[in-house]
Structure 1
Amino acid sequence: MYAYRAPPLPAAPPVRLVPMVTSQDRAVFASLRVLPDQAGFVASNAESIAEADEMPWCVPLGVCDATNGGVVGFVMHALDPDEGRRWIYRLMIDARFQGRGFGRAALRATLAILDRLPRSERVMLGVDPANLVARRLYAAEGFVETGEMLGDELVMRRVLQR
């Protein structure tokens, strides 16, 4: 009997997720942009940071290249107060750094944080159905499409490691 062995997941560059402490930090991360044809897939970082200011359950983090120290992206996770589920509300990598594995690394680093938090049996996220690159990334990292829609976004779920 032949046993299928899945190929190893691709390596990702090391990243650090950092809190945005100063107004200068916030301005730097708010200035990051996706490619023009991706703009409809994710809210701007400035909007996300403002959202986190209004919703204390949101945790905005900057994504930095751990090797070179540069700023490469933004992620925000939350424990939804209405449903008690963990969500990744935002994940974006600046256009200048896309295609290098930083998105995968940021996702993995975020999941590592969520794995350690209480009430974290699974994590949810929403993705624009037309964003095929993001959908493939999330599926490769263990997310499954639930068939649910939240507004215009397809909901995906992943069981966290314990």
Structure 2
Amino acid sequence: MDQTKDIVLTIPAEAQYVGVVRLTVSGIANRLGFHYDDIEDIKLAVAEACTNAVDHAYKELECQGSVRVTFRIFGDRLEIRVKDEGKSFDIEAVKKRSGPIENHLPFTLMRERGLGLHLMETLMDHVDIQVGKGVVVTLTKFIHRDEVDRDVNSPAKTESHG
């Protein structure tokens, strides 16, 4: 049976604190043995989930609000839970509205149409979103160890011709 360990971080729902979460998840993922590319993917997905909470959760509420990030460490994976207690949303409506990515649209408009959700789903192995009193986004990334082919196309692996 996996013995889990939890690390919990609570930040004010303000954009300047999202970087603290990125640094924290980078340190945890590095310690767990994730490859560089996976760490970058995790950082981007977690930052997107936190930014969504910061930008949308408390927008219409009078209170400042906070975002609670729980890093759950398993033997084979890292689960990151990003939770707010602000305004919820209709996830199916966002998925329907996002449709295919349209390159002619400005990035900010594409992001409002659900690009962030698509990005998280692309970068992580599993994404679960629960809506109710607030929103809980759970992002899961499995640790891939001992894969010989993994770094074949890595920028760190360059061949010298000559």
Same fold (TM over 0.5): no
Higher strand share: 1
Higher helix share: 2
Structure ranking higher on relative contact order (CA contacts 8 Å, 6+ apart): 2
Compute the TM-score of the two structures, normalised by the length of structure 1: 0.31
- Higher Rg of the two aligned structures: 2
